[in-house]
């Protein structure tokens, strides 16, 4: 039996809880989906379900590699939401610009964190 590191479980918990929140508070996520995407409600559900499924996959040693790749792809897919929050006052939740700007490099940190597990056996 392979024992996974605690920080992998931390990542999984983070995505699992975020995924659940897509269903608990969908208006929050729909608000940050750029208007040029059609059917934001469906995109929110797909994103939330993906986070939950990928989080579970991270905790299964034979799926960790694939789930980490999926998280990287998901993080890339949601990049437009970060820029939309930065450029659209209604989508910014009243957060300061500097904090919204920090979300962009933070996204790269999350991608690197997930990348670490793409080679995990």
Structural domain contains residue 23: no
d(CA 46, CA 37): 13
Look at residue 1 in the predicted model and tell me its pLDDT: 67
Structural domain contains residue 17: no
Look at residue 3 in the predicted model and tell me its pLDDT: 79
Per-residue pLDDT tens listing for the chain (121 residues): 677 899 999 999 999 999 999 999 999 999 999 999 999 999 999 999 999 999 999 999 999 999 999 999 999 999 999 999 999 999 999 999 999 999 999 999 999 999 999 986 5
Structural domain contains residue 50: yes
Tally of domains within the chain: 1
Structural domain contains residue 85: yes
Structural domain contains residue 36: no
Q: b/e map of 30-60 (b: 16 or more CB within 10 Å)?
A: ebbbeeeeeebeebbbebbebbbbbbebbbe
Structural domain contains residue 101: yes
Range of the domain at 77: 46-121
pTM for this model (two decimals): 0.92
Query: Phi and psi for 105 in degrees, rounded to 5?
Result: -65, -30
């Amino acid at each position: 039996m392979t024992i996974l590191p605690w920080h992998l479980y931390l990542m999984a918990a983070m995505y699992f809880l975020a995924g659940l929140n897509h269903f608990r508070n969908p208006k929050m996520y729909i608000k940050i989906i750029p208007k040029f995407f059609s059917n934001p409600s469906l995109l929110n559900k797909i994103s939330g379900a993906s986070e939950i499924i990928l989080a579970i996959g991270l905790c299964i040693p034979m799926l960790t590699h694939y789930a980490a790749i999926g998280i990287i792809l998901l993080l890339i897919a949601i990049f437009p939401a970060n820029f939309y929050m930065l450029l659209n006052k209604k989508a910014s939740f009243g957060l300061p610009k500097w904090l919204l700007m920090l979300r962009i490099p933070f996204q790269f940190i999350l991608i690197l964190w997930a990348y670490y597990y793409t080679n995990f056996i």
